[in-house]
Amino acid sequence: MSNLLVTGGAGFIGTNFIRFWRSRHPDDYIVNLDALTYAGHRENLSDLEGDPRYEFVHGNIGSYDLVYGIMKVCKIDTVVNFAAETHVDRSLAGPDAERLFYETNLMGTLTLLRAAREAGVPRFHQISTDEVFGDLPLDRPDLKFHEGYPYSPNSPYAISKATADFAVRGFFRTHGLPGITTSNCTNNYGRYQTPEKLIPRAIALLNAGQKVKLYTDEHGVPGKNVRDWLHVEDHCGAIEAILLRGKIGETYCIGGESELSNYQLVERMLAIMSEITGKSLSMEANVELVADRPGHDLRYAMDISNIRRELGWQPKHTFESGFRSTVEWYTSPEGRLWLEGVSGNTEQVREGQNRTLPQQRK
């Protein structure tokens, strides 16, 4: 049995990870620490409330006393750090936004690392992103990110995650914090993704009878940027493999081996939604072209040969089946209700009132 502290567990990937881990390790105890910003939704896991093997704590990873107290009181032996500000567009909103990203992603991670060292936590896994590597050219499909690829982040979000990765590695070498691993993943998709991201945002707009917004480049070419899409359940399976079999001190790259341009993605979405709703949706009628954001990365792609070889992990979902089931969920009554419930959330961080610690673990 293990006692896990999952930070950011009310967010998209954290929610799916807790559900995944509970299904595979039902005897383990999980503390979910989340600040409940606009991207965190406690109701995602409301069915677990009252379960003695699950505890929710409303608070910020930047609070040393809080995170150290959880680690000691709950006898935490594994920290999985999902907590982060994640949206590139928001990180470009100005100096206050940049400061928030650095405070959460870098300083918050440093606080967790210090607390874990002082509390004697033997295992710490850092969730990172492929965006720390920068981008790849569109005309070189042979090039992919890998564990030895140099860091070259292009946005405040990517910079904050890159510096957090270095902080984790530095703690492992300099401060002797044992049991550290890191993973860098490509774009996730699946249930419970906050509609600031492309897929749920586009579906929410279409559900409401509005047009999908698609970036164009400086020449007016729409949606040419390419992303590798990873089903969130496959991502959770990769994290499980790293926690159970990963080599301490190592980094693992995770991807879905499903590269599509944003144009292709929206085109497929419209085709699936046309089938589901019986309404004819098209790129011409249902997409609005908008100016590109600054420094928009061209292409992400991941070489996953290392994690496949060392840990025996590979994606189980094809993009075709995984994407269809995702679109079907967001257009179902349950998914529509969820989207409606979170779409109105403010983008300002809601400071929590409940910062009490869980009960002492026996």
pLDDT in tens, 34-85: 999 888 899 999 999 999 999 999 999 999 999 999 999 999 999 999 998 8
Handedness of CA 60, 63, 64, 68 (dihedral sign): negative
Q: Quote the CA–CA distance of 4 and 78 in Å, as a whole number.
A: 5
Least confident window among 12-16, 19-23, 106-110, 220-224:
220-224
* Residue 139: predicted pLDDT: 93
| Residues 333-348, mean pLDDT to the nearest whole number | 77
Q: What end-to-end distance do the CA atoms of the chain give, in Å?
A: 13
Higher pLDDT: 235 or 172? It is 235
Q: What percent of the chain has pLDDT over 90?
A: 79
What's residue 361's pLDDT?
54
What average pLDDT does the segment 158-167 reach?
95
At 352 the pLDDT is: 32
**Regarding predicted confidence, which is higher, 155 or 113?**
113
Please state the rounded mean pLDDT for residues 141-148: 97
Residue type, 107: M
What tens digit of pLDDT does each residue of 218-256 get? 888 899 999 999 999 999 999 999 999 999 999 999 999
CA atoms within 13 A on the CB side of 356: 5
Most confident option among 18-27, 100-109, 152-161, 290-299:
18-27
Handedness of CA 58, 39, 157, 150 (dihedral sign): positive
How many CB atoms are located within 10 Å of the residue 362 CB?
4
The secondary structure of residue 103, as a DSSP letter, is I
Tokens representing 162 are 């890159």
What SS3 class is residue 83? coil
Identify the sign of the CA torsion 313, 267, 39, 16.
negative
Residue 335 is predicted with a pLDDT of: 95
Q: How far apart (Å, rounded) are the C-alpha atoms in residues 193 and 257?
A: 20
Q: What are 271-308's pLDDT values in tens digits? A: 999 999 999 999 999 999 998 877 788 999 999 999 99
Question: CA 327, 13, 334 angle in degrees (round to 5)?
Answer: 40
Write down the residue that tokens 């040419």 correspond to.
224
Domains defined along the chain, listed by start: 3-188+230-257+300-316 (3.40.50.720)
What integer is the mean pLDDT of 318-335? 96
- How far is Cα 147 from Cα 251, in angstroms, rounded to an integer? 6
Question: CA gyration radius for the chain?
Answer: 20
Are 304 and 234 in contact by the 8 Å Cβ rule? The answer is: no
Q: Are 106 and 84 in contact (CB under 8 A)?
A: no
| DSSP bridge partners of 125 | 80, 181
Report the catalytic residues: 130-131, 157
Cα distances from 279 to residues 27, 177, 263, 269, 270, in angstroms, run: 46, 56, 20, 13, 10
